[in-house]
Structure 1
């Protein structure tokens, strides 16, 4: 998605340091991944981070769809605060 790719192993090590339950999500259409984001639940507090939409797929509602899915996950995981 991005021409500035981070080293995958470094990214995975950083995610391993995160305390709480992680919910990585990707939104795919027929030609592949168009958006991604990360939800993290710690106790009853839920945060959403790093929501990104591929430049060629912006302004088509994909980020909204992804945000709704991430929020639904937080609700189902019993988060009380976001």
Structure 2
């Protein structure tokens, strides 16, 4: 679930980085709390969003058939 095929990974990692930076600069939160926020936003949130909203994964792409270049249906439009 935490893969490049999950469309929620990049936004979650960027939000986690911003939250970590904000927690570092604006609060006196301990290192353990800041790392906890970072792990939660970058690791847990994209997996939960992907399951709830039904985002794609790399494994799903293998199930889709790929059209071949020599397909006869595609060549019918070029016979003019």
TM-score (norm 2): 0.33
Higher helix fraction (1 or 2)? 2
Higher strand fraction (1 or 2)? 1
- Larger CA Rg, structure 1 vs 2: 2
Select the structure with the greater relative contact order (CA < 8 A; seq sep ≥ 6). 2
